[in-house]
């Protein structure tokens, strides 16, 4: 049995507090800890689930998705967020500050960019 478990995903940002606020609103998470250039958020009440942390990086360069040219800042990871209503949650994410990506590769997924330019996906489980 492995004694290791994923606890937190850390994202660099232009402004850690701004990006943390976006994900607090989007996911219903709460702030668990914060410093001037770092914020940790997680499920409410200390509930189970993966936490997110954000760190202000003065030289932050947003990734380009999809990659277009050699030398573009590459996407290193993205978050997949399952939702019940893709259209409603996409509209809510945009209202909270996300931007809908121009390229949408699947019908049951919406690719968006958070306020720091990180791609993330909203998706619905297909009925089968």
Q: Residue 14: which domain range?
A: 1-57
* 46 and 96 share one domain: no
Residue 101 lies in a domain: yes
pLDDT on residue 74:
60
What is the value of pTM for the model shown?
A: 0.87
Using an 8 Å Cβ cutoff, are 55 and 18 in contact? no
88 within a domain of the structure (yes/no)? yes
CA neighbor of 41 nearest in space, from 64, 57, 25: 25
CATH of the domain at 87: 3.10.180.10
Residue 1: pLDDT band (50, 70, 90) is: confident
Determine the Cα angle at 113 with ends 128 and 37, to 5°.
125
- The upper half-sphere exposure of residue 74, i.e. CA atoms within 13 Å in the direction of its Cβ, equals 4
Helical residues (DSSP H) of 1-128, grouped into ranges: 16-27, 86-95
Mean pLDDT of 50-74: 81
CA-to-CA dists, residue 74 to 11, 20, 43, 78, 124, angstroms: 14, 22, 29, 11, 26
Predicted confidence (pLDDT) per residue in 9-28, tens digit: 999 999 999 999 999 999 99
């Amino acid at each position: 049995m492995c004694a290791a478990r994923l606890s937190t995903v850390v994202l660099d940002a232009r402004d850690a507090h701004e990006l943390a606020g976006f994900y607090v609103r989007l996911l219903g998470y709460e702030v668990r800890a914060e410093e001037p250039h770092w914020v940790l958020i997680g499920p409410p009440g200390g509930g189970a689930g993966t936490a997110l942390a954000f760190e202000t990086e003065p030289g932050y360069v947003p990734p380009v998705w999809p990659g277009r040219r050699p030398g573009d800042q590459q996407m290193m990871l993205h978050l997949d967020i399952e939702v019940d209503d893709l259209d409603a949650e996409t509209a809510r994410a945009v209202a909270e500050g996300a931007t809908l990506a121009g390229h949408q590769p699947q019908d049951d997924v919406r690719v968006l960019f958070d306020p720091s330019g990180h791609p993330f996906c909203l998706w619905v489980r297909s009925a089968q």
